[in-house]
Amino acid sequence: MSRPLHWYDYITINIYWLGLTTLAQTLTPLVVPLLVQQFVGEAFKGTFYGTLRLWTLMVALLVQALMGMLSDRSMLRWGRRRPFILTGTVADLVILSAIGLSAGMSGMAGYWFLFGMIILLMIASNTAHAAQQGLIPDLAPDDKRGRFSGIKAFFEVPLPLILVPFTIAKLISAGNMWGGLLLAMGILTLSMLLTMLAPEKQRAEKPPALDWQSFLRLLGMTALFTTVILGVGSAIPLAGRALRGVESTAVLVGVMGLTGLLAMGIAVALGVWASVQISIGRYAASSNPSFTWWVVSRLAYLVGSTNLASFAVYFLQGRLGLVREQAAGPAAMLMLFVGVFVLIMSLVSSAIADRIGHRRLLVIAGIVAFVGAMVAIAAPNLLVIYGSGCLIGIATGLFFTSNWALGTRIVPQAEAGRYLGISNLAGAGAGAVGAYIGGPIADYITARAPGVPGLGYVLLFAIYGIMFLISVVALRWVKEPPAAQG
């Protein structure tokens, strides 16, 4: 900074994370699933929701990378990042208004309108998101970055996860979706306005030329990963046709469950392998196999954790017999329990990892998350489901800290940015893999076994639970550097 640091700089530089996470926690687990259900009906809600998640997440990944590169090189008089944040937020507000209006629509016209609006929202929100990520590196002094990051974590995780269940979710569960959206828009707007007070200045030196090759590599990785997901996803309708004459529920669940698990596992392994080959090259990949297996483990875990949250509304509807918006409140409370324990374990996991090592901690995280998923499907009881959220929160808190720390030790330090950049593909790919493949499975089982409430989503949550174990198995081929051992 060109001036002394003030206490309010910690707020202005970080508060936009509150708006971003509030928006995400409002749309992904609450508004979008309910609107998709309204437009396409009960029979195909999982399938169409999964399709929407696949394409919107891939767009988000590409836009965030491109806008990050553009804001890095911005010479605008108002600063590098704030113009992107302002522009993205204003566009968000217009698009969110259109999404609110879509609640009055019906049928496939409503679905495709929502689909288009979410694509546009991904472009707008990731324009702002990409720029926001640069504020701490740009403005925080080196000796204060730990404090700035701590404030960022507060605005990004616990505050919105406490705020949404007690405010926005209550409005949506009462049937007031417009009220919930307007409140989310208000929080986003206030966060943006305070961010405009961040002490940014115009960039003084001329930036280097834009390296389009790195973006083209990411475009290639994304296209290939999407093709893999589409390819393995075709196994689900094929298995459904093969089971057309089968009446046994046990056989239907067994075959579709195994098919879905294999499809997700193949998508994770093949998608990561191909992406690593494109990103860092065949020679570099073969000389550092731990990196590939680390990404496989990371993606497998995120397939489970991301999609348990995404399908929470549908799971609670089927398992507890809740009617549409009634599931919004419990789904948000479930995310609250997860978020609180993520925060707690994130604070203590570093000390634990110093004693037992990051790799062992990740093994524990995967096993605890698996147990949490199994508890969720054990009984149609809301308190039991909340208990599963606590377990998954504990595991995920351990995972996020230890997985990233392990990854930073595995990659060559001189090329850490290029290597770790692929982790963004793992984050977006997790939602795409789990939703696009999993949604049709839940729809199929629900239709074929209507006498067992929520069976399709019970099976789906069981598959996500096993993906946690697959993340543990992948760690077998990850070698932790000796210095990181406890």
Of the listed ranges 153-162, 204-213, 235-244, 384-393, the one predicted with least confidence: 204-213
For residue 484, the model assigns a pLDDT of 40
Residue pLDDT, tens place only, 459-482: 999 999 999 999 999 999 998 776
For residue 48, the model assigns a pLDDT of 97
Q: Is a pLDDT exceeding 60 seen at residue 258?
A: yes
What is the model's pTM? 0.90
For residue 54, the model assigns a pLDDT of 96
Question: Mean pLDDT throughout 282-306?
Answer: 90
Residue 72: band (very low, low, confident or very high) from pLDDT cuts 50, 70, 90? confident
Of the listed ranges 211-220, 239-248, 380-389, the one predicted with least confidence: 211-220
Residue 346: band (very low, low, confident or very high) from pLDDT cuts 50, 70, 90? confident
Residue pLDDT, tens place only, 120-135: 999 999 999 999 988 8
Domain segments of the chain: what residues? 1-197, 212-486
Q: Is a pLDDT exceeding 60 seen at residue 53?
A: yes
Residue 1: band (very low, low, confident or very high) from pLDDT cuts 50, 70, 90? low
Q: Could you give the residue ranges of the DSSP H alpha helices within 411-481?
A: 416-420, 422-448, 455-474
Length of the chain measured in residues: 486
Task: Give domain 212-486's CATH architecture.
Answer: Up-down Bundle (1.20)
Tokens of 248: 């046994």
Cβ count near 98 (within 10 Å): 14
Q: Is a pLDDT exceeding 80 seen at residue 225?
A: yes
Of the listed ranges 95-99, 144-148, 233-237, 377-381, the one predicted with least confidence: 144-148
For residue 211, the model assigns a pLDDT of 76
CATH code, 1-197: 1.20.1250.20
For residue 36, the model assigns a pLDDT of 97
Average pLDDT, the chain: 90
For residue 485, the model assigns a pLDDT of 42
Quick check: do 1-197 and 212-486 share a fold? Answer: yes
